Chain A
Amino acid sequence: METALQWARGPIFWTAFAFMILGLLRLVVITVLDIRHIMRDAGDKSLPVGQLIRTTLSWLFPVRRFTHRITYSLTTIIFHVSIIIVPIFLGSHVMLWERSIGLSWPTLSTTVADVLTILAVVTALAIVVQRTIFADARRLSRFQDYAIPLLIAVPFASGFVAMHPTMNPFPYEATMLVHVMSANILFILIPFSKISHCLLLPFTQFVSEAAWRFPSDCGTQVAVALGKEKQPV
């Protein structure tokens, strides 16, 4: 068990983390190439920079969506905030970074970390539940939309019980192995699943913005191409 744990937090972690970094970089490069492609084909070559920034920010801080679907909006915001903040600013994690690469940064107090961790697990489950019970959401959902929030909950739950040994029914090493390995799997999945939106969000906004801008008279041109001039649409 201890050897497996060493292996999981050593070489496997390195590999998974490298997979995430390189995979995300690769996605960015491919997306930029794609965007170049789209821009070349686009009829309207003006860049909607202002609108782009507005939409990106509005999705980063979806305050406007509070008018309807308030529960879901709140759930996802809390979910996102906790799963971003806790892994980066947890004291134990910062200590690991400091030991391996010598960099450290401010940490969360354990109480805040505990609260956010519980919130992350609860909201992850809530997201899945809401996706299941609302018919509209269910229709839009793919397998990974259910699987990924549940998978994200695993390292948070296992990390929480590892930090509170007295309420942990499992051996410490086994708990840590689950914690580290589930996180490793997530790292590898990040570039290959919807989680890649963590880096690609502005690019996807750009793509949908740029790709759907048609030249002013394109409707007529389509009609000409289809041979349906002067016919009602």
Chain B
Amino acid sequence: MAEDLVLDTAIRDWVLIPLTVVMILIGILRYFVSKLMRSQQNPDAKVVKEGQVVVRARNLRAGANFIPAKSFRARRAYFSNEENGLLHVPKGQGQNPQAQMFSDPNMAMDMMKKNLSMIIPQTLTFAWVNFFFSGFVAAKIPFPLTQRFRSMLQNGIDLSTVDVSYVSSRSWYFLNLFGLRGLFSLILGEENAMDDTQRMMQMSGFGMDPTKNLSAEKDGLDIIQHEWALPKFEQRAEAVLKKLVS
């Protein structure tokens, strides 16, 4: 195309600006709605206890040499015996986390709430943009771009002759959808619930198996050699005192 397309100022006033404002408002609304719906979840008794057991067993492993051999052996037996040791995980009880997730309706409910608050407004706004503004060229960016950006900037316009620096309204919607995160963290504070990427991470983190932690700690405890460090301390104390007295 030789000549530039001239964009009507009414497009700016009635498409570009409303779209942006609506996106921001929806983002803020979503934040408050998700804040309302977030249920305070009580930690599971077993999970809390297992975390504490792991910490204590780790302490035992790290400080083993500071307690007498008898005390160490008693503790090790307490943690890792095959009958009722704290770290011992009976076979078959290592629950499949997936199954656990579905067996706990609360967890499923929570995830559904989160997803709903994310998906519903997105579908609605997308439908709204599609219905009213499809086919608009809403803006022009002030620098030229290569053809590869066409699918990103001109979604919804199937003309190969339009210069790539023109942005279609649907693309403007997508740009807003993903680009406003920085603005939201400015408006709503750092820890706003908008961060979709973080949520994705959390979801993938569900696959972790807490019982693995326990058995790893148990193996660690089983293999350490107890070597009481205290007898050495007598000589070291002597050295210290010698220095002090002289």
- Do the two shown chains form a genuine complex with each other? no
